[in-house]
A = this chain, B = another copy of it.
Amino acid sequence: MINAPLSTASQPLRIGLAGLGTVGASVLRILRRQENALAARCGRAIRVTAVSARDRTRDRGVDLAGLTWFDDPVALAKSSEIDCLVELVGGSDGPAKAAVEAALASGKSVVTANKALLAHHGVALATLAEEQGVALAFEASSAGGIPVVKTLREALSGNNVTRLYGILNGTCNYILSRMEIEGLTFEACLADAQRLGYAEADPTFDVEGYDTAHKLAILTSLAFGTKIDAEAIHVEGISSIAPLDLKMADELGYRIKLLGVAERTKTGIEQRVHPTMVPKSSAIAQVMGVTNAVTIDADAVREITLVGPGAGGDPTASAVVADIADVARGTAGLPFGLPVARLETPTRAPMQRHEGGYYVRLAVLDHPGAAAAIATRMAEADISLESIVQRRSESAAARDPSGRSGAPVPVVLITYATSESAIRAALEKVSADGHIAEPPQVIRIERE
């Protein structure tokens, strides 16, 4: 039975490669470098026969001689010269979607690294792949070189996943790591990240959490056997994080990470992306710089964490080539591990009913009784405080050695588990009371 692909599928797998950027060029280099090993592993040769990209003249450092060139990726997808389309064009719609649909519709397997495409059209594309009896593989779409798709789809077959959380965006983790270690502002670290090529000229997509959300949408589906529901994700980015938050986190035994979290709660599947306080001793807190990590809690395996590069040409190409090898071997399986008809429509857990601990930083005006008024508002909402830290602001101290200046003083509250709605309601009252100088900073705490 397992020798079937080796004996019957002796024809080479012919690859059409759409998109010749950093990842595409690396895929081409790896397929050539590993030609013999891959043929032995898959029982058949893997050969790139045709390519498509925007600019035919650009030097990509790889030899394109002998490959059929297509200006149009859709024409490549439909070509009878290929058996499998590797889509590295990017974008949730446009040519990427058209090419993937054309390939699947013409009975070709597809390997893609396109998280936006999957997050928006994953279920429809998987349905098409299933109807055609071909593969749709997307290991590289989430967490780059980390084999989290394969782990969720295959290695945890016997598990009920209860929670998945991860650092899925290297740009944000790089910025937060440098802010923490060097005490710099978000803006300074972002500028450095842009200079070093870790952040785009328009960084919104990364720093505001949308990139993490796309990846999380895919992983949630794999983890819980549910239809992708990207619109349900609560998304907050890291641009509001201040150096003071990182300093306070450190003092209180936490680090701040932009996490994507998917959890099965009693109200449904909760999906959220936001800056998160994680205990310094946790595995996820150790992950610094551009590295990604995903932790999966499940009933049988308890907890596993996968750490590795979430981006970059070679690591992403490593995942693309693994998918190509699965297609060549005939072991790619169903796109989401289950037939699409078996994927459940997830019940959305409303964010207002999220339960957990909170870090709240308030700029408290130096009014007599302000602290007591705040504490009362919390108590009224049944919110118990684990700790309260009040720091006299340094600038205020400089101006007025008596310590009373009228300038706002940072006060940090760490709450025990409460609900999002309770904390929001209490903080609205605190704001209305007129004791704080700016909107509260609220950062959720993730338990280990």
Contact = CB atoms under 8 A, between A and B. Distances in A.
Interface of A: 1-4, 6, 26, 30-31, 34, 37-38, 40-42, 109, 130, 133-135, 139, 145-147, 150-151, 154-160, 225, 283, 286, 298-309, 312, 314-315, 317-322, 324-326, 329-334, 337-339, 342
A1 to B, nearest CB: 6
A332 B5 CA distance: 11
Contacts of A339: 6, 40
A307 B283 contact: yes
10 contacts: A2-B109, A40-B338, A157-B325, A158-B320, A158-B322, A283-B286, A300-B315, A301-B308, A304-B309, A330-B331
Nearest to A144: B301
Main secondary structure of the interface of A (DSSP, over half): mixed
Nearest to A27: B158
Contacts of A157: 34, 37-38, 41-42, 321-322, 325
A301 B147 CA distance: 10
Contact of A300 (B6, B151, B303, B314): B314
Contacts of A309: 301-304
Contact of A38 (B30, B37, B158): B158
A332 B2 contact: yes
Contacts of A26: 300
- Count the copies: 2
Contact of A37 (B31, B225, B317, B326): B225
A156 B322 contact: yes
Contacts of A334: 2, 41
A307 to B, nearest CB: 4
A342 B146 CA distance: 27
B30 A304 contact: no
A325 B154 contact: yes
A308 B314 contact: no
A330 B154 contact: no
